[in-house]
Amino acid sequence: MYNFLGALELITAPNPSKGTASKLLLTPNGRDVAAVVSAYSPTKELVENVASLKRYVERVIVVDDGSPTDVSGILSDVEATGARVLRLPENCGIAAALNAGMKRARELWEPEWLITMDQDSRFTGNYVEDALEVARSSSSPQTVGLVAPQFHNNIRMPLLGTADEPEVFDPMQSGTLIKTSVLDRVGYLDEDFFIDCVDSEFNARVREAGFRALASAGSNLAHSLGDARPLKILGWHARIGEKKLSVHYHSPFRVYYITRNSFVLMRRYALSQPKWILRRLYMELQSHAVRFVYGPNRRKHLIGFLYGLRDGLINRMGKIDPRLAERLR
């Protein structure tokens, strides 16, 4: 998911390891849950995050999405944590990587739940057991398809409606629990999206099938902020109270994917889920406004936006054209 909360972040994000208990936090029944981590050109941080994840989930698969450099050493260290590693021969996109990992996990272990994770995400607290308890204690457990954290880096995620059991507006795939039976009903992630909006498109299908994405009250996912740059207006560093704000920078080629995939998403679900689409579009426009007014590389961002809009209009999906990718570097 990409929205205004992703573009405008508080720079005082917590330490990913903060709040994590020292004891093992595995679920009572280890067969209930398996985790799939997508990786691309990973650093040693991946090893640390997988080791942390193994304290919550016994069965973990890390999928290397065709990293262009030799990461064999890092992946060997990942395997040393007890996780399995699946290497794709070329870069196929996060949707394909996660799909490959989820299918492999189901073949090996037949878990009831899957958790998908980014390589730079980490759980805090009693994350997994709390999320499972939300699903178990629901007044309508058969309609619970996803359980997502209520907070990312201690920032509250937007909710959908005001029901007694709050649903997350548009859960990011990282840290979200997916009931495997839902995959049999709605299918896996749409690999044509490649990257960006992959989770949003899946969330829309889950809702159309009658399932809900519940918020796990109090759960927090620690997630890297990436390249966050100060948000300055005429030289003044904007702030809310004492907290300074920053622009979460996305490269121009990511702006291409965000624009293209958002347009396709809007076209697919505007009639069946108009309120959700309009709210999401409003958030996207806020992100673009921040990017084009305050962000760096504004000319290349504009090129990525225009080409993304064009390809969305003609439904040209999949991986970005290599010539365009080179132009946007």
Q: How many CA atoms lie within 13 A of 72 on its CB side?
A: 1
Mean pLDDT for all residues in the chain = 87
CA distance 154 to 16: 11
Smallest CA-to-CA distance from 262 within 225, 288, 299 is with 288
CA distance 202 to 214: 15
Residue 163: exposed, middle, or buried by beta-carbon count in 10 A (0-12, 13-18, 19+)?
exposed
Pairing of strands 239-240, 212-223: unpaired
Pairing of strands 84-87, 243-248: unpaired
Smallest CA-to-CA distance from 4 within 282, 309, 294, 298 is with 282
**Where does residue 125 fall: left (phi above 0), alpha (psi -120 to 50 degrees), or beta otherwise?**
left
Torsions phi, psi for 60 (to 5 deg): -130, 135
Q: What is the pLDDT of residue 25?
A: 60
What residues in the chain have per-residue pLDDT under 70? 1-31, 162, 225-249
DSSP 178: E
Instruction: Please list, in sequence order, all residues whose beta carbon lies within 8 angstroms of the beta carbon of residue 88, skipping any fewer than 6 positions away.
Output: 63, 64, 65, 66, 96, 97, 100
Residue type, 170: D
Q: What is the pLDDT of residue 2?
A: 38
CA distance 81 to 146: 27
3-state helix vs strand vs coil in the chain, percent to 5: 40, 25, 35
Q: What is the pLDDT of residue 102?
A: 98
CA distance 215 to 17: 22
Tokens linked to 35: 């985790």
End-to-end CA distance of the chain: 23
Q: What is the pLDDT of residue 291?
A: 79
Pairing of strands 144-152, 155-156: antiparallel
DSSP 275: H
Smallest CA-to-CA distance from 60 within 108, 125, 99 is with 108
Q: What is the pLDDT of residue 233?
A: 60
Structural domains present in the chain = 17-223 (3.90.550.10), 228-327 (no CATH)
Long-range (24+ apart) CB contacts under 8 A made by 138-145 are 138/165, 138/214, 139/164, 139/165, 140/212, 143/210, 143/211, 143/212, 144/179, 144/211, 144/212, 144/214, 145/178, 145/179, 145/182, 145/186, 145/206, 145/209, 145/211, 145/212, 145/213
